[in-house]
Structure 1
Amino acid sequence: MLDHVFRPCVIGGLTVPHRIVMGAMHLNLETLDDGGAALAAFYAERVRGGAALIVTGGSAVDAAGSGGPGYGVLDDEDHRSALRRAARAVHDSGGLIALQLFHAGRYALPGTPGADGAAPLAPSAVYSRFSRTTPQAMTARQIGETIAAFARGAGAAYDLGFDAVEVMGSEGYLINQFTAPLTNRRDDAWGGDAERRRRFPVEVLRAVRAAVGPGFPVLFRMSGADLVADGTPWEETAALAVALADAGADALAVGVGWHESPVPTVQAQVPAGTWAVYAQRIKRALRTAGHDALPVVASNRFNQLAQAEEVLAAGDVDLVAMARPFLADPAIVGKSRAGASASVDLCIACNEACIDRSFGTERVSCLVNPRAGYESDFPAGHSPARRGRYAVIGAGVAGLEAARTLARLGHEVEVYEAADEPGGQFRLAARVPGKADFGATVRRRAQELDGLKVPVYLGHRVGSRDMPLLRTMDGVVVATGVRPRRPDLPGVALPHVLDYAQAFADPGALGPRVAVIGGGGIAVDLAHLLTSGSASALTPEEFLSSRGLTMPLEAGAGARTAPAAAGAARQVTVMRRGGRIGTGIGPSTRWVAMEELRAGGVHLLTDVVYEEITRGGVVVEAAGERRLVAADHVVLATGQESRRDVVALLHQAGVPFEIAGGAADARGLNAVRATAQGLRAAHRIVERTASRG
């Protein structure tokens, strides 16, 4: 039951029909040269799926505040036009939309439009490891101009037809930089003590309120915990919340962490609902100050409405914001309301197609749902002029995506998989602690295919005997995946040498000393699996404790506290020819994965030359010295080769086909590319064969 989730809520004068907010996400759709078509289609599909109040990705209030080349600036008429179209599309679909007012401050990235090569603006000239620049300290005049820019942005939101605004004052962006002693080293009217540090956010809110009047809802996203050394102390955070309430905020949304924080906040390793405790404490501080009715929004690391229900039922939180889950499944709210939560495609917090892309210029999308961000290119609800028959060979993530796309397009589909279960490489990933949702993704995809009446024939390797049947099909998608590559290395055929698939299949059979040749993402996952001890997930309380985070937070809380070592029985060494372990893992996740390996006592060797594998281990040259890496088992994680034997048979049989995933190219293989190719291969094969009789 989701009784608390589906209760209406009032924010200012705005009645919201349920308690799930679609949180802000920068999409890199905001500046596309398409008149706002992609942005409008993206938001409208989420409303049709049940979203009520949507908060847009941040729109910069002026050019200096832009986060990078993919950010829209509210002074730009093209961006305003795109926003107007997006707001209209949301309203036409029955939803509500708030415009987020944004200023990056010292987090402005190189290539920011309008910056003209100038250093980013910030309260003080404190170097940023995120943007890799030292900003210029703002003058009093620049501070006043920036406050006025926030007010102009709020007025623009009103004029463009938005239902509300959200002021972005969290996650280490400009407003948050003013509240933290780390980045505000001023000793003037805007810094020097707690009251002056919170003056800037309060003045921004007052200016925004004055610009839109008392009846227009203004949300303020504040930081519940900066999670950096010398960040905003808890007492000042609580006082800021009260000051914002006094200044006219209609709701406080609570974020956590900075991009420079040593504590993971949005990765799969973070338990669901961990950060709600900060929103709850802010609500209690407001209640103590007499602001009982002011709504507080919790956020970060929720991927199911049942988790939001639990937090809402516990009290001290009024709404829950979910962002990436709306990428993975635009209908997460509608399905859950209908009692079909088990059919929701879960966000797996891989961050590869969303957060990692948001820091560049590539369109944000989703591994689980590659249509995300491309809704205008691949519209839903298409009915074919003629119902075709298609086969998909391979039931890894590329094949599963191709199959469901073809079936959703209204075609008859059959899937053939050589293994005894679907999922391909995802089956391996699902064994790794913290990645259980990878397995859930495969199960949900299989469930969806079953509901679409798509037969999946397991244990069936397609060969020449199948060509007569395949000739009757309109077309085929080949998604036969990859096989582990075995390097040409002396000793590679010894009995204690396994490929990574064999090691994942039975990790308990490996001895106490394991040497892994290869240092990519698969090797990192395997090393984590072998040294993690228990695969059981931490509770939010255990996670916070492992990071040295206690409540209330003291000034400086959040400094790096690595997880306690698991005391694993195995000694694992990961080595590679190059100089960087974990190549291919996204930047927002790699540092967490590497931290886990170090906590597990994994030895990391880079820039090695492999000489041979012996019965005692691997002989390498490292740092100019020849040495033996002792091992009871040696695991090869040296890349993959495409499985595409069936391609020649299809050519010979004259069967039209498209190739997707690892079968197309094993180099740099990742699941984001595989699912995107599965989607596109399905559409291409239909387009190619639509005229066949």
Structure 2
Amino acid sequence: MTHYPHLLAPLDLGFTTLKNRVLMGSMHTGLEERGDWDRVAEYYAARARGGVGLMVTGGIAPNPEGGVAVGAAGLYTPEDIANHKRVTDNVHAEGGKIAMQILHAGRYAYNPDCVSASPVKSPISPFPPKELDEEGIEKQIDDFATTAKRAKEAGYDGVEIMGSEGYFLNQFLVTHTNKRTDRWGGDYENRMRLPIEVVKRVRAAVGPEFIIIYRLSMIDLVPNGSITEEVIRLAKKIEAAGATILNTGIGWHEARVPTIATSVPRAGFAWVTKKLMGEVGIPVITSNRINNPETAEAVLAEGCADMVSMARPFLADPDFVAKAEAGRAGDIAPCIACNQACLDHTFSGKISSCLVNPRACYETEIVVTPTDTPKTVAVVGAGPAGLSTAITAASRGHKVTLFDSAERVGGQLHMAATIPGKEEFAGLIDWFERQVANEGVTVKLRQRVTADDLTGFDEIIVATGVNPRDPQIEGQGADNVLSYIDVLRGKAPVGKRVAIIGAGGIGFDVAEFLAHEGTSPTLDLNLWKEEWGVSDPATDRGGLAPEGPQPEAPARDIVLLQRKAQALGKKLGKTTGWIHRAALKMKEVDMVGGVNYERITPEGLEVTSGEARENPRLIAVDTIVLCAGQESERSLADALIAAGKTPHVIGGADVAAELDAKRAIDQGVRLAATL
């Protein structure tokens, strides 16, 4: 009997059957634009081997004006078709099925030639769109149909038509972006004409035995967005036009509500998808923040959908489904929804990957194979860098001993897991512990090793992490001064009025930690919806509460300070920084830049402003928390070098830059693959 009877049940689509209810949702990786088609093919083939029922590619533009940016991947030439056929052939050879997403960005395109329903500029792109006339609309419809036909020629099992997240088709649906008065605008019957016509033309172009997924925006989370009654009307029309499956889209990209970040509750929008169940006769897919088999099984068992879409979890672990099927769910590398190596990379023009799994999209570059020359390997430091090295090296056949002075592996991940909204990090620690045991790593905890303790090893990896930087402020040795380590590990009481020195990622985390008391909204969907002003789209347009966000009162009065005279949080994650800034603003945290820390007194922190040290003042607080950066802990590495050894130094011990688990894990895996 299967552990996940709903998730692993086949889904009969009439002309074809999916082997389970798992969709690998679309992710733009940037691989297609690089033109390395062996790499693209292996990326998708790895997920097909892992057992996913159906996967969807990253967005492929139907025409140049619809691409997410100038030069975005399209399917225009016989050569393009041949390249894509290499992908589909590899997927089919592994027993998988794959659909190609057709993504027209509309006004979201970083392209001066972008087009839309009306010339309403997007707040997240620099170019105002050109309003399409009748001829222009006909061209867009024809380009969708032509692209779908080419996808079929390239061997795809289907296409997904992107009609959500505020992209082109979604822009015609709502008065927020559609100001037209012709047959493509005005009342809802007219506004939904374009997506319906696109689906009809695509079905006519590809014939009856070809999967058409339509990505339907279930909750827009923007002013003047759709209401549920309109969404259901559209869904029925899309079904009648020839769609095979309806996939769920949540929120426009410009929405000021998080939808997939780690602070969003697991399956936080399944209740929205459930509104469509029973209204249409074709399968419905739910999505967003579903990252393990238990959550996926639960939403299916509760009747929220017929199928589950998971995207980033397949970056973290391509074998997600196979492990679930084998009863090894605990071995699935967890997606922690951090966005650091996936979406942040995508929106920075880099190739996407995964903090937890640096081999994602680098399958042909980072090759982990059994070693012909097993070595004895010492790894000192059981944080992310040391753990990834130890696990990967042991999986190759090396004999690995892992040392750490702490009582448990994980390093500073333990502090991250204490932050409200970052609870997923606890699961990452659990996974690391399990993999260390699975790979037979010898673990020696509560041990501070010296250079003399490491004789006899063939390879020594130093992953000793970082120490807090000393800001050298007069009076910092007083009892009212704590380090971020003291605070996050609960070693000392914190007063009701707090000044935080340093506004990098750690400073923001400490502010979030101290501003909150009680249940984390990430663990309570109703609290989270109140905090961000999410309501029922059946009654409120776009699913936005008329009263706006209603967060709980802050637990403390907090001032967050930095020396640089610029906006605080400027260097936070590209796709998540705004969330952290908005969350602290809702908690009434005072954010102050351009200050000099003059001295600490029993009354608080004395500061001045600017290079001229003007405007001297006292910030009256009970507690000052130091988050003034980190310095590499290199004492062991230096001692080994002095003793004539050549250790490998990785992670924070190599470069101290915040708590950069992404770089640390990547370094560890790459090093272990070459030992």
Contact 1:229 1:556 in 2 (8 A): yes
Task: State the AA in 2 paired with 1:8.
Answer: P
Instruction: State the 1:47 CA deviation.
Output: 1.8
What is residue 230 of structure 2 aligned with on the other side?
236
For residues 674 and 376 of structure 1, what CA distance do their matches in structure 2 show?
A: 20
Separation in 2, partners of 1:409, 1:267: 33
**Residue 410 (structure 2) pairs with residue 423 (structure 1):** yes
Residue of structure 2 equivalent to 1:57: 58
1:508 and 1:412 mapped to 2: Cα distance?
40
State the Cα distance separating 1:266 from its structure 2 match. 0.5
CA contact (8 A) 1:206 1:247 kept: yes
Residue in structure 1 matching 2:343, options 341, 355, 361: 355
**1:420 counterpart SS class:** coil
Equivalent AA in structure 2 for residue 575 of structure 1: L
Shifted more, 534-543 versus 415-424: the winner is 534-543
Root-mean-square deviation over aligned CA pairs: 1.9
* Equivalent position of 1:24 in the other structure: 26
Q: In structure 1, how many angstroms separate the alpha carbons of the residues matched to 2:514 and 2:550?
A: 16
Counterpart of 2:156?
162
**Aligned sequence identity (%):** 39
Distance 1:354 1:544 in 2: 25
- Which of 539, 542, 546 aligns to 2:524? It is 539
Correspondence for 2:665: 675
User: Paired residue for 2:246?
Assistant: 252
Please give the per-residue CA displacement for 1:122-168, whole angstroms capped at 9, x wherever unaligned: 11111111113211111221211111111111111111111111111
Cα displacement (A) at 1:238: 1.3
* Residue equivalent to 1:598: 585
CA shift for structure 1 position 69: 5.2
Aligned residues: 667
Q: Residue 414 and residue 561 in structure 1: after superposition, are their counterparts in 2 closer, same or farther (change >3 A)?
A: farther
Aligned to 1:216: 210
* Partner Cα separation in structure 1 for residue 667 and residue 87 of structure 2: 28
How many angstroms does 1:297 deviate by? 0.7
Which position in structure 1 is the counterpart of 2:620?
630
- Deviation string for 1:578-629 (max 9, x for gaps)? 2222243212212222222222232221222221111211111248522111
Equivalent residue, structure 1, for 2:330: 342
CA offset at residue 410 of structure 1? 2.0
Cα distance in 2 for partners of 1:451, 1:428 equals 25
The corresponding residue for 2:389 is 402
Structure 2 distance, partners of 1:371, 1:561, is 45
SS of alignment partner, residue 257 of structure 2: coil
CA distance in 2, matches of 1:423, 1:675: 12
**What is the alpha-carbon distance in structure 2 between the residues aligned to residue 247 and residue 661 of structure 1?**
54
Among 352, 357, 361, the residue aligned to 1:369:
357
For residues 640 and 231 of structure 1, the distance between their equivalents in structure 2, rounded to whole angstroms, comes to 45
How far 1:462 moved relative to its partner? 2.3
Work out which of the residue numbers 471, 477, 481 in structure 2 matches 1:497.
Answer: 481
Match of 1:655 in 2: 645
- Indicate the residue corresponding to 1:274 in structure 2: 268
Give the secondary-structure state (helix, strand or coil) at the position aligned to 1:574. strand
Q: How does 1:140-179 map to 2 (within 5 A)?
A: 140-179=134-173
CA distance in 2, matches of 1:488, 1:561: 46
What is aligned with 1:41?
A: 42
Whether the 8 Å contact between 1:283 and 1:316 is mirrored in structure 2 is: yes
* SS of residue in 2 equivalent to 1:587: coil
Q: Deviations over 1:15-67 (max 9, x none)?
A: 00111111111011112232x12211111111222212111111111111111
Q: Secondary structure at the match of 1:483?
A: strand
**1:259-658 paired onto structure 2 within 5 Å:** 259-286=253-280, 292=281, 294-380=282-368, 382-468=369-455, 472-506=456-490, 509-536=493-520, 537-546=522-531, 547-558=533-544, 563-578=549-564, 579-622=566-609, 624-658=614-648
Change (3 A) 1:171 1:482: same
- Tell me which amino acid in the other structure corresponds to 1:544: K
Return the letter of the residue paired with 1:157: A
CA offset digits 1:78-112 (Å, max 9, x no partner): 543432221111111111111111111111125xx
Conservation of the 8 A alpha-carbon contact between 2:420 and 2:516: yes
Contact 1:467 1:653 (8 Å CA) reproduced: no
- Alignment correspondent of 1:73: 74
CA contact (8 A) 1:482 1:663 kept: yes
Distance between the aligned counterparts of 1:161 and 1:528, measured in 2? 49
**Partners of 1:459 and 1:327 in 2: how far apart?**
34
**Distance across 2 between alignment mates of 1:518 and 1:424:** 21
**Higher mean displacement: 300-309 or 659-668:** 659-668
1:78 and 1:405 mapped to 2: Cα distance? Answer: 38
User: Could you say what secondary structure the match of 1:55 adopts?
Assistant: strand
The alignment partner of 2:473 has SS state of coil
Larger mean Cα displacement after TM superposition, 73-82 or 53-62: 73-82
Partners in 2 of 1:70 and 1:672 — Cα distance?
28
Equivalent pair of 1:533/1:566 in contact (CA under 8 Å)? no
8 Å Cα contact 1:40/1:90 also seen in 2: yes
Distance (Å, rounded) in 2 between the aligned partners of 1:507 and 1:195: 61
TM-score, with structure 2 as normaliser? 0.95
With normalisation by structure 1, the TM-score equals 0.93
Q: Matches of 1:49 and 1:147 in 2, distance apart?
A: 35
Task: Provide the secondary structure at the position in 1 that maps to 2:279.
Answer: helix
The Cα shift of 1:428 comes to 0.7
SS of match in other structure, 1:586: coil
* 8 Å contact from structure 1 (residues 179, 198) kept in 2: yes
Q: Bigger CA drift: 77-86 or 602-611?
A: 77-86
* Gap change, CA 1:665 and 1:14, over 3 Å in 2: same
2:139 is matched by which residue type in structure 1? E
- Return the alpha-carbon distance in structure 1 between the equivalents of residues 49 and 605 of structure 2: 57
Separation of aligned partners in 2, 1:616 and 1:549: 44
Decide which of 190, 195, 215 is 1:196's aligned counterpart. 190
- In structure 2, the partner of 1:97 is 98
Distance 2:492 2:659 in 1: 27
Deviations 1:195-239 (A, max 9, x none): 111111011111110110111111111111111001223222111
Q: In structure 2, the residue corresponding to 1:509 is in which secondary structure?
A: coil
| Change in 2 beyond 3 A, CA 1:662/1:256 | same
- 8 Å contact 1:477–1:681 — kept in the other structure? no
CA pair 452-548 structure 1, distance change in 2 beyond 3 A = closer
**Does the CA contact (< 8 Å) of 1:328 and 1:345 recur in 2?**
yes
Task: State the Cα distance separating 1:544 from its structure 2 match.
Answer: 3.1
**Distance across 1 between alignment mates of 2:446 and 2:170:** 55
Distance 1:592 1:17 in 2: 38
d(CA) in 1 for partners of 2:537, 2:168:
25
Counterpart CA distance in 2 for 1:260 and 1:283 is 27
The answer to which of 577-586 and 478-487 deviates more is 577-586
SS at match of 1:613: strand
Describe the superposition over 1:517-563 as per-residue Cα deviations: whole angstroms up to 9, x where unpaired: 00111111111111111144443344334424125143354268664
Q: CA deviation at 1:669?
A: 5.0
Aligned to 1:113: none
With 653-662 and 552-561 compared, the bigger mean Cα shift is at 552-561
DSSP-derived class of the 1:56 partner: strand
User: Structure 1's 75 and 632: CA in aligned 2 closer, same or farther, altered over 3 A?
Assistant: same
- The code of the aligned residue for 1:539 comes to D
CA distance in 1, matches of 2:629, 2:294: 39
How far did 1:429 drift? 0.5
Change (3 A) 1:678 1:9: same
Partners of 1:52 and 1:95 within 8 A in 2: yes
Q: Which shows bigger deviation, 164-173 or 72-81?
A: 72-81
